[in-house]
Amino acid sequence: MAKDFDNTSGMIFDIQRCSLHDGPGIRTTVFFKGCPLRCLWCHNPESVRPDREIAFYQEFCVGCGACAAACPHRAHRIENGSHFFDRAFCEVCGRCVEACSFGAMRMTGRQCTVKEIMDEVRQDVAYYRQSGGGLTVSGGEPLLQPEFLKVLLEAAKAEGVNTCVETGGFAPRQAFEAILPLVDLFLFDYKAARPDKHREFTGADNELILSNLDFLCRSRAAVRLRCPLVPGINDSPEHFRAIAEIAGKYPAVERVELLAYHNTAGHKYARHGYRNPLPDLPSAGEEIKNRWLESAKNCGCEKASLG
């Protein structure tokens, strides 16, 4: 078993300590890289690609040219003290990241063994014990790396660490079956009720997702429904009725968290060379959040709270 922890590795893009928003108590959240969905409101755009990519933090660049000198592919050039990074030439070899002393060039994504992750997770066991917290695996979509996920969860369970998996639900059934006994709580996203709307917002329809949710709930997994709400996009009355219906249908759904859209991810799109699909949409304010909560409760969803 211990050998698996050394040898099994996967692609992650961050480990966040002292996380208070990804399940009960104080948690360490490990973010897996790679996602099959393309949600318009994605606030982790660097999580979408399954492989490594280069992030350019322009504000840290001093225009020294060390990256241009190190790059074998001529992706970097300095003109009049300004740094131009042409991703079309970039092979993501990481030489610029090694060469940059200022944190302007960074690698997003690293191949990490289960052991390496557990070494960090273990640091905060004292706080998990005191708060009912533990490990949360998020992403991206954790179930896109099913073997890595399973071994990581086994490692956590072997040390008595509570586990949460946050999922968009768009993954083969077998992946859910494999981890079912290893997960204390699923944080399951619910984004749109109608298949056509779901495809419009996320790039995929929701048939597979709903069937996986159904499977988990019937298997008596503990499920917390997480509903990202985006003003003017999926905050329709129809959607709140659908949320209430699902929450009512499945006793396994212990809670419904309404997650309000925030527009603080714009810089992450820019740093990774992506276009933000919703550049001008402001974060949802307190008033609108409270209205959403009221809408959910009015539809009979007593399990709803603002997440």
- Give contact residues for other proteins (rule: CB under 8 A): 16-20, 25-26, 60, 62, 64, 101-103, 123-124, 126-127, 129-131, 133
Complex with other proteins: residue 64 or 180, whichever CB lies closer: 64
Q: How far is the CB of 210 from other proteins (least distance, A)?
A: 33
- Nearest CA to 226 out of 202, 261, 196, 264 is that of 261
* CA–CA separation, 140 and 160 (whole Å): 25
* Min CB(29)–other proteins separation in Å: 10
Judged by beta carbon, residue 98 or residue 254, the one nearer other proteins is 98
Which CB sits closer to other proteins, 15 or 180?
A: 15
Q: How far apart are CA 230 and CA 283, in angstroms?
A: 9
Please identify, using beta-carbon distances, which residue of 60 and 89 lies nearer to other proteins: 60
Cα Rg of the chain, angstroms: 21
Q: Which residue has the tokens 């079309």?
A: 88
Nearest to 288 by CA among 267, 268, 258: 258
What 3-state DSSP class applies to 186? Answer: strand
What three-state secondary structure class fits 132? coil
Q: Residue 105: which of 66, 138, 72, 156 has the closest Cα? A: 66
- The phi, psi pair for 132, rounded to 5°, reads 75, 25
Instruction: Output phi, psi for 176, to 5 deg.
Output: -70, -40
To the nearest whole angstrom, how small is the minimum distance from the Cβ of residue 128 to other proteins? 8
Closer residue to other proteins, CB minimum distance, 20 or 218: 20
Nearer to other proteins, 25 or 266 (CB): 25
Give the Cα-Cα-Cα angle 162, 168, 169 (nearest 5 degrees): 90
User: Least CB distance from residue 53 to other proteins, whole Å?
Assistant: 21
Closest approach of other proteins to the CB of residue 178, in Å: 30
User: Toward other proteins, which CB reaches closer, 187 or 217?
Assistant: 187
H/E stretch holding 245 reads: helix 237-249
CA pair distance 102, 120, nearest whole angstrom: 25
Residue 18 C-beta: closest distance to other proteins, Å: 4
